[in-house]
Amino acid sequence: MPEEPRGVLTVAVMTYNRPAHLRNCLESIARHLPGVPVLVLDDRSDDPAQVALLAEVAAAGEQVVTGKAGEEWHGGLYANMQKALDLCQTPLLLYLQDDTQLVRSPGTGEVAAVLGLLEQPGAGFVSPFFVKARKGFQWRGRFAPSADGQFLLPGINARKGRRHLSYSDICIAHVPSLRAAGWTFVGSEGANSGQAARLFPAGMALMHAPWGFYCPEVPVFRYRSRGHTLAGRIAARRAGDSVKRFRALSPDRVAALRNRSPGLLPLAESWLEPEDPGVRRPFVYADMQRSRWLWLLHKGELALRRLSGGSG
């Protein structure tokens, strides 16, 4: 079984009008998965900085696919995820989004272990990301370590009659299994979870030592977004174009991550260090959530719009 990601793994990055975050994501891929083919699926961005970056990426030899009006696959995250699945030429496909990043490189044998797990009957997806703090309590006791210690396997949800975790939009997919099952991405994460539970009853394992995570405090509104709120404008002015990126894990931290107790969930706050020391903990993922009053202002404005029947 191969031990190197090249020839086994492709990375697909979903993006729309987030040039600074997209650059950070792509730089993390180049740093931690050098030589691995990258697909950039852009949903018709019109931010000039994003358009320029896409041209730069294409000139560097990566495959950039941009939706256009009238094309049958245009429109939204899941159509682009399906396009990536159709284009992929390796057995493993790592799905990322522009506001995510990798924080470490896979060690010897890790990619082979992922492939081996996903080649088992009933498997289709693995989660390569750390666990958000709010899920740490919810998921306690729901996963058990695999025999090799490289994964946390989901138990059965007795009430639902299926595994506790079946799918997430950030995942490593086993391309041959998805194609054999006739997998087609549908229009929401919940609907895809239901489909995955039916087609891949083994559920979605977590990596014991994950590779990446979501950047915190990402702007809610993008270039020329409709429906900006006052809170969104204030948050954007405060944050500017800065990406709240994470530092790459040091060799010592990677060793500690691998050697922790097998049953412990890999909580992001326990292992990841933002470059900006002012990033809020526990991490929040929308810029306005960093300030409680801004978030309440934003939610209040949206509620008023709904009551008035307008879009602002």
Domains of the chain: 9-207 (3.90.550.10), 223-246+280-312 (no CATH)
Strands 38-42 and 162-163: unpaired
- Give pLDDT < 70 ranges for the chain: 1-3, 68-75, 221-227, 232, 234-241, 289-291, 293, 295, 310-312
Q: What pLDDT does 62 receive?
A: 93
Q: What pLDDT does 74 receive?
A: 46
Q: What pLDDT does 70 receive?
A: 47
Q: What pLDDT does 190 receive?
A: 95
What 3-state class would DSSP assign to 264? Answer: coil
Q: What pLDDT does 305 receive?
A: 77
Kindly provide the residue ranges of all beta strands, DSSP E only, lying in the chain, ordered along the sequence: 9-15, 38-42, 63-66, 92-97, 100-102, 125-127, 143-145, 151-154, 156-157, 162-163, 171-174, 205-207, 212-214
Q: What pLDDT does 312 receive?
A: 44
Cβ atoms within 10 Å of 43's Cβ, excluding its own: 16
Q: Which of 190, 193, 90, 202 is nearest to 143 (CA)?
A: 202
- In terms of C-beta distances under 8 Å and separation of at least 24 residues, what long-range contacts does 1-7 make, across chains too? 1/112, 1/115, 1/116, 2/111, 2/112, 2/115, 3/108, 3/109, 3/111, 3/112, 4/111, 5/33, 5/35, 5/36, 5/92, 5/106, 5/111, 6/35, 6/36, 7/90
Residue bearing tokens 């600074």: 20
CA distance 43 to 38: 16
